Amino acid sequence: MLLFLSVPQPRPPGARTRPGAARVAWWRRQQLRRLRGLLRGLRGRPGAGSRRRGRMALCGQAAGAASLPSELIVHIFSFLPAPDRLRASASCSHWRECLFYPALWPQLRICLRVSPAEQPRLEFLMRKCGWFVRELRVEFAAENYLSGGGGPGDGSGADTGTGGEEVEALQLSTRWLEVLRTYLELVLCVLVSIRNNRIQQLFEEILSNSRQLKWLSCGFMLEIVTPTSLSSLSNSIANTMEHLSLLDNNIPGNSTLITTVELERFVNLRSLALDFCDFTAEMARVLTDSNHVPLQRLSLLVHNVSVMHKSLDNMPNDEHWKALSRKSTSLRVYIMAFDIKSEDMLKILKPSIPLERIHFDSYITCVSGAIVDLISRQYDKFLTHFILMNDVIDTSGFPDLSDNRNEDPLVLLAWRCTKLSLLAIHGYTVWAHNLIAIARLRGSDLKVLEVTEESIDFDQGELADQDVDPVHNLIEQVSLGLGQPWHAVMDIESLSVFTEPNRHFYREMQSFSEDI
């Protein structure tokens, strides 16, 4: 099931409609005229001959819109756009009953204002369509959500005279909080209604009926995959499966989407993606058994929600990772960490993990310079991708990983990790001279260097030099170092690695696994 929740941008004042809009409206009017003509013919016009009335009387009842079979009404509805279906359903109660036939609504687009008055309308539609719709798009009016009451730092309701800029930046207006609360209630109404959608049952039917399934990838699918889903697979299919991805942050308590006993059936598995807390020492032992083919790609999602509810005590130790590496010399690991504390990362990052890619995403807890330094020392032979993302609200500025250190950890990372090909940073202070050093150290081997403009800072000496434009000099020196044109990322919204970390991880995991 596809679910979209979006807040569209308002159309600029005076913007014209699309050229085809008039033709679409004309076509709709023609369809309605045709439908009304059909209804008039069925009801019989005033002044019609007695022969017609006699023939209709043989039916034993008046022949009108209500007497049409449901199949015919649904067929008529199938030719009409959604707004015209709603108008046509006003003919009688029988037509209204046919309006929400599942085949008519494989896709549903709902436009709402962020208002409590919209909730009854939304609940009605979800009650009617939520259990069968396959693609659902809910859009909220931009003028009501984005500008209705302001947002953080808009100044409304803030005491600028006493609190200063910091208080003004942190204080949220009452109106904005009300709009946000209403928005979340409407979203919750949508999510609750589709939990009973038949897609979960259909998914298990697909698994049970599969005969040549090689690749099964299920990520962040709103509880579509359950701890019992894999039991639908026959042993013959499980034995030939080559890739398995099971990711869902909403699994409660100590439940897991796959158990060690279940994993024993997947003897031909070459690629695996799991929640880190679900990947236990017993699973690592199973993957090193002689009856299993060597595992080549392992993607692990470390989420603070999982770490809070599940224990890290059962994770593989360094000996297990050594055994996995001996089993498969081509094994490579991809880790994404969401808001994980430094002390937990120190437990997770075992020296023998063949770590090729790592992605940190923080909203509450920042990554420390010690963790970056540890990664550069332990995984210098494998690391190719390093992503550092921080979206913590901190009025004192972005954290500086080089504080109280002789060398910047990011520069050391570029120096030690000779295979580094991608480096992306947002929300951490990157000094201009260190960015130039990174570009010179890695040169053209560093294919992607993405640093947001707001993360870059300059020394006072660079800013004081009146003869050199520090920004122009930075762009020129980094471009020379990389051997290709370079510029800082100005629009963070254009990069999914910063704005959609879950989706980015899922796409990267797919390409990471396809490399084999």
> Rounded to the nearest 5 degrees, what angle is found at the Cα of 77, between the Cα atoms of 72 and 78?
95
Residue 216 pLDDT more than 70?
yes
Average pLDDT over residues 283-298: 95
CA Rg, the chain, in Å?
A: 30
Q: Which of 86, 145, 81 is nearest to 107 (CA)?
A: 81
Residue 385 pLDDT more than 70?
yes
**CA torsion through residues 463, 465, 469, 470, sign:** negative
Confidence of residue 12 (pLDDT cuts 50, 70, 90): very low
Q: How far apart are CA 466 and CA 468, in angstroms?
A: 6
Residue 266 pLDDT more than 70?
yes
Task: Please report the pLDDT score of residue 222 as a whole number.
Answer: 54
Average pLDDT over residues 374-384: 96
Q: Where is pLDDT greater, at 232 or 132?
A: 232
Task: Please report the pLDDT score of residue 26 as a whole number.
Answer: 59
* Pair 430, 437: CB distance under 8 Å: no
Confidence of residue 38 (pLDDT cuts 50, 70, 90): low
Residue 322 pLDDT more than 80?
yes
- Look up residue 294 and give its amino acid: P
Q: How far apart are CA 158 and CA 147, in angstroms?
A: 17
Task: Please report the pLDDT score of residue 420 as a whole number.
Answer: 97
Strand partners, 389: 361, 426
Q: Where is pLDDT greater, at 493 or 158?
A: 493
Average pLDDT over residues 98-122: 80
Task: Please report the pLDDT score of residue 29 as a whole number.
Answer: 61
SS3 of residue 427 by DSSP? coil
- CA-to-CA dists, residue 423 to 12, 81, 357, 386, 411, angstroms: 37, 48, 10, 5, 11
Residue 452 pLDDT more than 50?
yes
Q: Where is pLDDT greater, at 42 or 435?
A: 435
Least reliable range by pLDDT among 265-269, 444-448, 493-497: 493-497
Average pLDDT over residues 262-268: 94
Q: How far apart are CA 400 and CA 411, in angstroms?
A: 13
How many CA atoms within 13 Å lie on the side-chain side of 412? 18
Strand partners, 297: 271, 332
Task: Please report the pLDDT score of residue 182 as a whole number.
Answer: 81
Residue tagged 């069968």 (tokens): 132
Q: How far apart are CA 487 and CA 476, in angstroms?
A: 9
Task: Please report the pLDDT score of residue 89 as a whole number.
Answer: 84
Q: Which helix (H) or strand (E) holds 84?
A: helix 82-88
Least reliable range by pLDDT among 34-48, 255-269, 275-289: 34-48
Q: Where is pLDDT greater, at 420 or 154?
A: 420
Q: Which of 222, 221, 218 is nearest to 233 (CA)?
A: 218
Residue 150 pLDDT more than 50?
no
> Rounded to the nearest 5 degrees, what angle is found at the Cα of 500, between the Cα atoms of 495 and 503?
110
Give the helix ranges, DSSP H, for 349-389. Answer: 369-378
Q: Where is pLDDT greater, at 40 or 68?
A: 68
How many CA atoms within 13 Å lie on the side-chain side of 9? 4
How many CA atoms within 13 Å lie on the side-chain side of 179? 22
Strand partners, 275: 301
* Pair 74, 101: CB distance under 8 Å: yes
Confidence of residue 39 (pLDDT cuts 50, 70, 90): low
**Cα torsion through 148, 152, 153, 156, rounded to 10:** 40
Average pLDDT over residues 140-163: 49
Task: Please report the pLDDT score of residue 306 as a whole number.
Answer: 84
Average pLDDT over residues 292-305: 93
Task: Please report the pLDDT score of residue 369 as a whole number.
Answer: 92
Task: Please report the pLDDT score of residue 112 as a whole number.
Answer: 75
pLDDT in tens, 400-409: 998 777 889 9
Residue 159 pLDDT more than 70?
no
Q: How far apart are CA 301 and CA 348, in angstroms?
A: 12
Strand partners, 107: 135
Q: How far apart are CA 27 and CA 80, in angstroms?
A: 10
Instruction: Out of 111-115, 255-259, 370-374, give the one with best mean pLDDT.
Output: 370-374
Residue 328 pLDDT more than 70?
yes
> Rounded to the nearest 5 degrees, what angle is found at the Cα of 163, between the Cα atoms of 160 and 167?
95
Name the E strands within 148-241: 215-219
Instruction: Tell me what percent of the residues of the chain surpass a pLDDT of 70.
Output: 74
Q: Which of 480, 462, 483 is nearest to 471 (CA)?
A: 462
Structure-block tokens of residue 352: 């023998």
Instruction: Please measure the distance between the N-terminal and C-terminal CA atoms of the chain and give it in whole angstroms.
Output: 29
pLDDT in tens, 300-317: 999 888 888 888 889 999
Q: How far apart are CA 327 and CA 469, in angstroms?
A: 55
Task: Please report the pLDDT score of residue 499 as a whole number.
Answer: 66
Mean pLDDT of the chain: 79
Residues in the chain: 516
Task: Please report the pLDDT score of residue 157 as a whole number.
Answer: 45
At a CB cut-off of 8 Å and minimum separation 6, what does 202 contact? none
Task: Please report the pLDDT score of residue 357 as a whole number.
Answer: 96
Q: How far apart are CA 196 and CA 201, in angstroms?
A: 10
Residue 57 pLDDT more than 80?
no
